[in-house]
């Protein structure tokens, strides 16, 4: 009896010790972790800013001689941008009025620095030209009288971009930012392979990149009358804004340039990035939960100790019960109760299963009876509009065969404008994003469909995609309907700057794509529903006055929703 009492006292002591050690260990671990979390959150902004390596190559070429006229502002643009970038933590190499050798040496240094960079930025202000889909930067001493001289006297920009991306993608994993204020007047534009402005650089995204252009493809930028060009002036106003993504900055810059030049110049950009890119800061900071100095081994030890102590506790209680008469009676009584409970539960479960199976059998019999008495019939939905000629693309989308024409616009909007026969099939242009929505709502009513858009407040357009009316396509839907660009024959399927002869053409004059749709590429830019930036909307497809490379790159142009141009139209879609 004395031995049993001693054993019980020892086991009781072990149980108390187990509980106390578990509580103490957990408290110490939680306190240490919380301390590290607080320190990490307090220092997150500063450590992020310090840890990022940001490099920049800034070039401003102004003092041209010979074929290319001298420019007033590129040197000012480059030097002032250098100051802005230094202020937000960039290491900047700035060169001005550079010849070809100096530019190549600067690019070589830039490639080396890209190996360890998180953000690599290249800015160029000066003359740049496009020839046969390739873009060239012009050194100040270049003697270029024809396109044949470009390879020997100019710098091939496409190669610079590709090589920078290769280095970033293979080494640091950083992002590339290219800013081109280079679409000045081109004396070679009248030659066979050259065009106004630059072409879109369709780079292979081995690393993330943003390429910003001072104007739309196929157009030229203004040098400006003040200290800076209109594009760089707007860029300098916003590039150092903290915690604002660079694409959002470009959206604001576009609006300012559009206003300053009275719609004569519209900046654009292309991007292949997986997350927002910040030149200054990193956006809104969310606390990161981290164990800091609390290592993974400590976490593992914590788990092991908890498990061992729990096992010891269970063993202690079990032995205590078995070594006492009262404990043995309690265990026996509990076991008997468990057996009775399991037996009763098994009976209830069996009865429930029988009832459930009977209900299932009744449902099956009902379905079989209905199927035998009435076969399901699939009814092809009515796809034709009273106004638009359309086709079904994929399984669930109806798409108008052409952009909306002048005749269709007049009929739906009840504008009794006299049109010559030849004009009726021309696409309607000069319409804003809001104008397109108004037309599509009116067309929905005319076709006895439910309008998708609530336009009572132009600043807050409400979209109800559960309605069956006509609407603008999303970018994804537009790309699906357009098909892959590699299947497009430019001359036979699209109007662009090389074959449009400087003017708009009627719809459906070129071959349709495999889906039976006309003019998806070229002719007019087409509005989409996407909103890449606040207040802006997407345009897809290129137009009659731009290079075909822009259209066939399947890249989006971002403009203000109020934007109107003689190269912009739209087409309607609706869901089945």
What pLDDT shows up at residue 43?
45
pLDDT tens digits, 253-266: 999 998 888 878 88
- Average pLDDT of the segment spanning 131-135: 81
Distance CA 572, CA 406 (A): 14
Q: What is the model's pLDDT at position 308?
A: 74
Length of the chain: 576
Pick the closest to residue 480 from 571, 569, 393 (CA basis). Answer: 393
Q: What is the pLDDT of residue 174?
A: 87
Class for the domain spanning 390-575: alpha beta
Task: State the pLDDT at residue 133.
Answer: 76
Q: pLDDT-derived band of residue 35, with 50, 70 and 90 as boundaries?
A: very low
Instruction: Identify whether the C-beta of residue 253 lies closer than 8 Å to the C-beta of residue 214.
Output: no
Q: What is the pTM of this model?
A: 0.47
Residues with Cβ within 8 Å of 329's Cβ and at least 6 positions away in sequence, in order, are: none
pLDDT tens track for 295-329: 444 555 555 666 677 667 666 666 655 555 555 56
Split at pLDDT 50, 70, 90, the class of 561 is confident
Q: Is the pLDDT of residue 252 over 90?
A: yes
Average pLDDT in the 429-451 region? 93
> How wide is the angle at C-alpha 463 spanned by C-alphas 461 and 469, nearest 5°?
120
- Closest to 84 (Cα-Cα) out of 117, 43, 121: 121
How high does pLDDT run on average in the chain? 77
Tell me the pLDDT tens digit for each residue of 76-90: 999 999 999 999 999
- Beta-carbon contacts of 566 under 8 Å, excluding residues fewer than 6 positions away, are 429, 430, 504
* Each residue's pLDDT tens digit, 348-387: 555 655 665 665 566 445 544 544 444 333 334 455 678 8
Task: List Cβ neighbours of 503 (8 Å cut-off, separation of 6 or more).
Answer: 544
Give the lowest-confidence range in 312-326, 438-452, 539-553: 312-326
Q: Tell me the per-residue pLDDT of 531-540, one tens digit each, with 9 for 90 and over.
A: 876 678 889 9
| pLDDT the model gives residue 302 | 57
User: Burial letters for 5-22: b for 16+ Cβ neighbours within 10 Å, e otherwise?
Assistant: eeeeeebeebbeebeeee
pLDDT value at residue 193: 40
Tokens 């699939």 belong to 378
From residue 171, give the alpha-carbon distance in Å to each of 89, 108, 116, 165.
21, 16, 7, 10
For the record, the structure tokens of 366 come out as 């009902």
Highest mean pLDDT among 407-411, 532-536, 568-572: 568-572
Domain 52-272 top-level CATH class: alpha beta
Q: Where do the DSSP E strands lie in 327-434?
A: 390-393, 397-400
Cβ neighbours, 10 Å, residue 545: 24
Residue 512's pLDDT is 93
Q: Where are the domains of the chain?
A: 2-35+295-321, 52-272, 390-575
pLDDT value of residue 197? 54
In tens, the pLDDT along 18-32 reads 545 545 444 454 444
- Read off the pLDDT of each residue in 543-557 and give the average, rounded to a whole number: 79
Question: Using one digit for the tens of pLDDT, what is the confidence trace for 72-124?
Answer: 899 999 999 999 999 999 999 999 999 999 999 999 999 999 999 999 999 99
Residue pair 70/123 in contact (Cβ under 8 Å)? The answer is no
Please write down the HEC assignment for all residues of 407-466: HHHHHHHCCCCCCCHHHCCCECCCCCHHHHHHHHHHHHHHCCCCCCEECCCCCCCEECCC
Tell which residue, 385, 484, 396, has the closest CA to residue 439.
Answer: 385
Backbone angles phi, psi at 175, to 5 degrees: -110, 150
Amino acid 371: pLDDT: 42
């Amino acid at each position: 009896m004395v031995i049993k009492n001693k054993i019980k006292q020892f086991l009781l002591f072990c149980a108390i010790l187990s509980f106390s050690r578990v509580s103490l260990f957990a408290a110490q671990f939680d306190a240490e972790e919380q301390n590290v979390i607080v320190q990490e959150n307090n220092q997150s902004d500063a450590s992020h800013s310090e840890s990022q390596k940001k490099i920049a190559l800034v070039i401003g070429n102004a003092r041209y001689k010979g074929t290319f006229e001298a420019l007033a502002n590129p040197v000012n643009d480059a030097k002032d941008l250098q100051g802005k970038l230094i202020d937000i933590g960039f290491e900047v190499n700035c060169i001005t009025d550079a010849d070809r050798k100096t530019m190549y040496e600067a690019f070589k240094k830039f490639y080396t620095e890209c190996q360890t960079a998180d953000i690599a930025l290249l800015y160029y202000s000066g003359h740049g030209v496009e020839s046969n889909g390739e873009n060239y930067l012009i050194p100040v001493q270049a003697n270029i009288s024809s396109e044949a001289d470009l390879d020997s006297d100019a710098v091939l920009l496409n190669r610079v971009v590709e090589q920078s991306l290769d280095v970033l993608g293979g080494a640091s994993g950083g992002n590339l930012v290219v800013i081109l204020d280079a679409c000045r007047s081109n004396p070679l534009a009248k030659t066979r392979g050259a065009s106004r402005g630059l072409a879109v650089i369709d780079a292979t995204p081995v690393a993330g990149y943003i390429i910003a252009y001072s104007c739309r493809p196929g157009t030229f930028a203004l040098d400006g009358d003040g200290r800076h060009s209109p594009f760089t002036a707007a860029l300098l106003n916003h590039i150092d804004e903290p915690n604002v993504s660079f694409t959002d900055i470009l959206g604001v810059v576009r609006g300012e340039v559009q206003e300053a030049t009275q719609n004569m110049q519209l900046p654009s950009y292309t991007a292949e990035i997986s997350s927002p890119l910040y030149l200054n800061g990193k956006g809104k900071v969310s606390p990161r939960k981290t164990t800091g100095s609390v290592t993974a081994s400590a976490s593992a030890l914590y788990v092991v100790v908890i498990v061992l102590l729990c096992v010891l506790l269970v063993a202690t209680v079990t032995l205590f019960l078995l070594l006492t008469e009262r404990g043995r009676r309690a265990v026996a009584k509990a076991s008997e109760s468990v057996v009775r409970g399991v037996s009763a539960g098994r009976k209830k479960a069996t009865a429930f299963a029988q009832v459930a199976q009977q209900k299932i059998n009744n449902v099956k019999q009902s379905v079989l009876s209905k199927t035998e008495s009435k076969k399901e019939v699939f009814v092809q939905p009515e796809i034709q509009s009273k106004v638009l000629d359309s086709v079904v693309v994929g399984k669930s989308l109806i798409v108008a065969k052409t952009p909306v024409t002048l005749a269709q616009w007049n009929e739906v909007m009840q504008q009794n404008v006299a049109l010559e026969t030849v004009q009726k099939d021309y696409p309607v242009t000069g319409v804003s994003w809001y104008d397109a929505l108004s037309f599509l709502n009116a067309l929905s009513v005319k076709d006895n469909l439910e309008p998708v858009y609530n336009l009572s407040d132009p600043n807050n357009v409400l979209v109800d995609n559960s309605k069956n009316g006509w609407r603008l396509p999303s970018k994804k839907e537009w790309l699906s309907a357009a098909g892959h660009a590699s299947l497009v024959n430019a001359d036979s399927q699209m109007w662009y700057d090389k074959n449009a002869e400087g003017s708009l053409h009627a719809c459906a004059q070129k071959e349709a794509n495999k889906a039976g749709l006309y003019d998806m590429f070229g002719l007019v830019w087409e509005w989409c529903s996407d909103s890449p930036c606040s207040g802006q909307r997407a345009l897809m497809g290129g137009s009659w006055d731009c290079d075909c490379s822009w259209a066939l790159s399947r890249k989006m142009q971002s403009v203000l929703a109020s934007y109107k141009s003689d190269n912009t139209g739209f087409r309607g879609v609706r869901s089945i």
